Structure formats: structure tokens, C-alpha cells
Amino acid sequence: MSSLDSKVVDIHTHMYPPAYVELLESRKTIPLIRRFAGAKDPRYIILPAEAEALDKITTSDPNTVPTNLPGRPVTTHYSSLTQKLHFMDTHGIDISVISLANPWLDFVPSETAGETAKSVNSAFSEMCSTAPGRLFFFATLPLTAPPETLLAAIGHIKGLKYCRGVILGTSGLGKGLDDAALIPVFRALAANKLTIFLHPHYGLPSEVWGPRATEEYGHVLPLALGFPMETTIAVARMYLAGVFDTVPDLRMLLAHSGGTLPFLAGRIESCIVHDGHLVREGKVKSTRRTIWQVLKEQVYLDAVIYSDVGLKAAIDASGVDRLMFGTDHPFFPPLNSDEQGEWESMTWNKESVSKALGADSEAAKAVMGGNAVEVLKLYGD
């Protein structure tokens, strides 16, 4: 294990409690988990393009075993705590802040969302208590539930010892994160010092990828481009709606180094300052906080960007004290080597930190874990 001042912390790492897997297995529409004859692992199917591929298989000859199964394999890495700890040990990770993966509880009916959230969050709490000091978690909110149930869920998680925030998608209550109806939720999270880990799921509409994407380009376009654009758009909308000023104590950790925000913040600023409509409405005052300021005051970025080029942009935008290492485990397993060994998806991100900041520099240590320990208070057992 590393010494106290140089812990390695993975803040972007997902777990699927068994009850959540059962829920997905019981479903007929995405998101769902489905077994296919002849395939070793069940498949987790979540993206609209994968649903199309699933439809094709369902309507094809049942005696033909499909070569290209939709979705991704559900390996033991999804639900096994032993496996998570093994992954951490293999890669020298001291602490993981685990979270449910997309699409969380976005599909759960309103009537059962509150109870489902309670059971998922209790399962996370229980998992963390079995490895004290090594596991903390971001809880899940029942966004489809009535407002009072949603606020009660925050009351529940704030009392959970290992909970450090919530993982949130971009759909909010159905109208996105610039929806005024979400302000009480943001206020309650901020008041309880619960950081929002903002994570994409919905990407961009399938038409954007063109007619060749499903057959020929795998998951590359929705994952590499759709996810980051979704995050970028969600945060830009929050900024334009004044959410960060309305809830100044709100703290958000953005997945995938903030999507493309570090790269596009300048363009967003220029478009605001040159927008005649906004200027006439008095929304471009000299006292306003720029998006650059918000990035440095209320936003943290993960370091899941796989290259020092993107990482340097993220550091320039938010500051080296606001970047936090992550792996995205159990996604992106190695395809040509043993899954129990090293994962490139981990080593690429780690090497990017060394390349951007110098191996073993104080700044690199901060990004690899020090920032997360301090910001998310990952101490005590």
C-alpha cells in the first residue's frame, strides 16, 4: 500500500449490486441483461444502437449462433467485491469510490424508485463496510420518484458513513439539469456536502452517427464522442441557466475530464459575450462569473481521458488541484490479455498523468489520489 500522502484513488469505478443485476435481467427493453446460447457471459445492452442489433438477433433464425453479440459481456467484474479488490490490488489502487453505472435508476417506475434507491444505496453502504478505508461510494438518486421521495433519499444517504456524494446522469427529472425544479435537490446536496459525480449515458441522437455506424463502427462514436458531448451540453445548460450562481456551494465532479468543456470553454464565453439577445436582456454583466471561473470554483474533473494532451487541457481549465484519477472499471476490459491481469484502460490514464505532470511529482501524486482524499474526505475507516 502507498504511504498516507500518496494514496492512489480511483473515483470513477462502477459496481452492480446483485439485486440491480436481477432487475436488469427481468427487463424486456433496454437497459437489460440477456443470455445468449453459446456465449460465456450474459450481455449488458444499454445503448439504442445495441437495441437495434438485439432486435435483429431476436427476429433471426434461432438455430444460428450470432457472431456479433450486442452490448458488452457481464463479467464477474460487474458485481463481485472480491474482483473489485483484486483489480485494485493488481493496479496499486488504495481506495475506490464506487458508483452504480449508467443508466442508474432512470428507467425505474415512479412508485418503486424510492425503495429501489434505498436498497441499492444500502447495498453500496454494506459493500464499503466490508473493506473499511478502501471503499467509499457515490449514491444513486430515485429521479423518477415524487419530489418528497427524492428529497427523502438525500436524507437517507447523508447518514450513510461511506457515502461521499451522488452519481447523476444528465436527464434530471426529464428536462435536463437546467430544470428549475431541480434547484431544491441541488440545494439539499450542497447543504449536505454531497458532491455530484456527473456521468453521461444518453449521448447524441443515433442519426448523428450516420447509417453505417451500427454495422461498421462498433461503439466508438457514441462512447468516444456522444458521451463527452452530452456532459459538455448538460453543464453548459446549467451554466447558462445560472444554476452555479443560484447554488454556490454545489460541487460537481465531471466524468471524462469534463467532456469537451476544457477545450470549448473559450468558445462558450465568446458566444455569450457576442450574443445580442443575452446582452440586451442584461445577462452579460461585467460582474458575471465566467465559465472559466465556475470550472475553477465549483467543478472537479476526473482524469479518465487516456492521453496527456486532453489531461493538460483539463488541468489548464480547472487547476491541478481539481483533477482526480479514475479507471472506468469494469468497462473497457483488455481484449487480448488476461482480465485478471493489467488493464490498459488503467495504465493509459496513469501514464497520461506521469507524462503531463512528471512521474512521482507532487502534482502527479495529487491527481492520482491526494486531491480525492482531500476533496471527498476519504479518511477514517
Q: How many residues bind ligand 5CU (CB under 6 A)?
A: 7
- Region 165-224 residues binding ligand 5CU, contact defined as CB under 6 A: 223
The contact pattern for ligand 5CU, residues 92-131, with x = CB under 6 A and - = no contact, is: ---------xx-----------------------------
Contacts of residue 169, defined as CB under 8 A and 6 or more positions apart, other chains included, come to: 102, 103, 104, 106, 143, 198, 199, 200, 201, 202
State the DSSP string of 18-87: HHHHHHHHT-SSSSEEE--TT-SS-EEE-SHHHHHHHHHHHTS-TTSPPSS-SSEE--TTTT-HHHHHHH
Angle, vertex CA 139, rays to CA 147 and CA 172, nearest 5 = 45
Please state the closest distance from residue 354 (CB atom) to ligand 5CU, in A. 23
The contact pattern for ligand 5CU, residues 40-69, with x = CB under 6 A and - = no contact, is: ------x-----------------------
Residue 260 CA neighbour count, 13 Å, CB half: 12
Please state the closest distance from residue 47 (CB atom) to ligand 5CU, in A. 6
Looking at the Cβ atoms of 46 and 372, the one nearer to ligand 5CU is 46
Please state the closest distance from residue 46 (CB atom) to ligand 5CU, in A. 6
Q: Does 302 bind ligand 5CU (CB under 6 A)?
A: no
Please state the closest distance from residue 201 (CB atom) to ligand 5CU, in A. 7
Dihedral of the alpha carbons of 271, 275, 279, 283, in degrees to the nearest 10: -50
Looking at the Cβ atoms of 162 and 331, the one nearer to ligand 5CU is 331
Contacts of residue 329, defined as CB under 8 A and 6 or more positions apart, other chains included, come to: 10, 13, 14, 77, 84, 87, 343, 345, 346
Comparing every residue's Cβ against ligand 5CU, the nearest one is: 331
Please state the closest distance from residue 261 (CB atom) to ligand 5CU, in A. 18
Please state the closest distance from residue 328 (CB atom) to ligand 5CU, in A. 5
| DSSP conformational letter for 223 | I
What is the C-alpha separation between 151 and 169, in angstroms, rounded? 17
- Region 325-344 residues binding ligand 5CU, contact defined as CB under 6 A: 328, 331
Please state the closest distance from residue 274 (CB atom) to ligand 5CU, in A. 35
Binding site for ligand 5CU (CB under 6 A): 46, 72, 101-102, 223, 328, 331
